Amino acid sequence: MRHLIDPTDLTVREIDEIIALAEDIIAHRAKYSEVLKGKKLATLFYEPSTRTRLSFTSAMLELGGSVIGFSDAASSSVSKGETVADTVRVIRCFADIIAMRHFKEGAPLVASQYAGIPVINAGDGSHSHPTQTMTDLLTIHREKGTLEHLTVGFCGDLKYGRTVHSLIKAMSRYAGFRAVLISPDELRLPPYMLEEMRESGLEYREVKSLEEAMGEVDVLYMTRVQKERFASEEEYNRVKDCYVLDTEKMALAKPDMIVLHPLPRVNEITRAVDNDPRAAYFRQVENGKFVRMALIYSLLKWAPENRPFDQTPVLAEGLEVNKHTCPNPHCISSTEDVEQLSIGNRCAYCETLL
Ligand code: CP
């Protein structure tokens, strides 16, 4: 059973194939309009969403399938204390594939151990957002014609920004990738990401101002400072307006640079920038539907016909059961009775260094 919990669950070849399939879907929409007739997607959203949930829904409907699920965990039996593990063991009786967004980091990994059907991580806390990454990769490919030899500037909330973590992981597998990390000290990338980048020999530099990076980047990835992730309002207020992309700063950029943003935005990109043809963030939203169509179709194609009920929990290869307790209070292992698992020196659920 294949799941998409982390961008590295797909090989580079598979990512390239999914991007090619999304391009084919864009070019030949009618060809795919009934390919998943009779199949059901369950969207389990424990955290708010506009783009991800609706693009998953739209994607499944455009493939001829149907959609069940919830957009507010309070309306489900989660509000009675039902665990992620039990929830997905129930959902697999009703659906063929699950897209899950959860405020706890690692919740979709737990779901994948119990579901018996493919599970797609639609964003877990501050950790990872692989389908946004697939959206970003398709957009970069369509706009720049390649995923290789690109310098990408990541600006804003690099600490809690799950879309940033996933995109760096994915892009670092393509030749010639360079990262420029633009953030205040308080919002630097988490230690596990910096360690991974150092160990893999990735070329990156950290800067404090947008102006320092504007002239060198091929792609500028703006992010929102996420109020909901901060421990206190005071902490949030200190950094909330740290970067604003405006037309003056756009004038410093290359003529073929593109601006991406996973959205929603607050005030980090002024409305005037929307009129610049290099602002690709609304084109990026539409690509999200097509790449999710390609993903759902591929995961269901790869899934075995018969899904046994007695195989719980199924642990992914390479994970070790250990006695370390993850120190991250936002990790699913802090609230759900799961095996303590690690990959090397990291928690398998949230990647916090143990
Ligand atoms: N980019 C993204 O994840 O948006 P939503 O939170 O609206 O799904």
pLDDT digit string, tens, across residues 123-141: 999 999 999 999 999 999 9
CB atoms within 10 A of CB 275: 8
Residue 243 in contact with residue 213, Cβ under 8 Å? no
Quickly state the pLDDT bin for 228 (edges 50, 70, 90). confident
Confirm or reject: Cβ of 122 under 6 Å from ligand 1: no
What does DSSP say about strands 119-124 and 97-102: parallel, antiparallel, or unpaired?
Answer: parallel
pLDDT 10s digits, 293-309: 999 999 999 998 876 66
pLDDT of amino acid 311 = 66
Instruction: List pLDDT tens digits, range 166-177.
Output: 999 999 999 999
Are the beta carbons of 162 and 125 closer than 8 angstroms? Answer: yes
Ligand 1 atom nearest to CA at 263: 1
**Which atom belonging to ligand 1 lies closest to the Cα atom of 262?**
1
Q: With CA atoms as reference, report the closest residue to 291 among 1, 2, 7.
A: 7
Tell me which residue has its CA closest to atom 1 in ligand 1: 262
State how far the Cα of 169 lies from the Cα of 344, in Å rounded to an integer.
17
341-343 and 320-321: which strand pairing?
A: antiparallel
Q: Does 49 sit in the ligand 1 pocket, CB within 6 Å?
A: yes
Rg (CA), the chain: 20
In this model, does residue 320 exceed pLDDT 80?
yes
Identity of residue 11: T
Pocket test for ligand 1, best of 263, 284, 289 (most atoms within 8 A of CB): 263
pTM (predicted TM-score): 0.95
- Check whether 220 has a pLDDT greater than 90: yes
- Local confidence band at 238 (pLDDT 50, 70, 90 cut-offs): confident
Residue (of 183, 123, 198, 191) closest to 153 by Cα position: 183
- Mutational pocket test of ligand 1: of 43, 44, 52, the residue with most ligand atoms within 8 Å of the beta carbon: 52
- Measured distance CA(226)–CA(126) in Å, rounded: 10
Which tens digit of pLDDT belongs to each residue from 71-96?
A: 998 888 888 989 999 999 999 999 99
Tell me the helices (H) and strands (E) count for the chain, helix number first.
Answer: 11, 12
| CA-based nearest residue to 185, from 158, 154, 214, 151 | 158
Compute the mean pLDDT over every residue in the chain, rounded to the nearest whole number. 94
Ligand 1 close to Cβ of residue 51 (< 6 A): yes
- Which pLDDT score, from 0 to 100, does residue 310 have? 63
Beta strands 346-347 and 341-343 are antiparallel
Atom 5 of ligand 1: nearest residue by CA position: 49
Q: Quick count: other Cβ atoms within 10 Å of Cβ 68?
A: 12
Looking at residue 66, the DSSP 8-state letter turns out to be: E
Q: Which amino acid is at 56?
A: F
Confidence of residue 11 (pLDDT cuts 50, 70, 90): very high
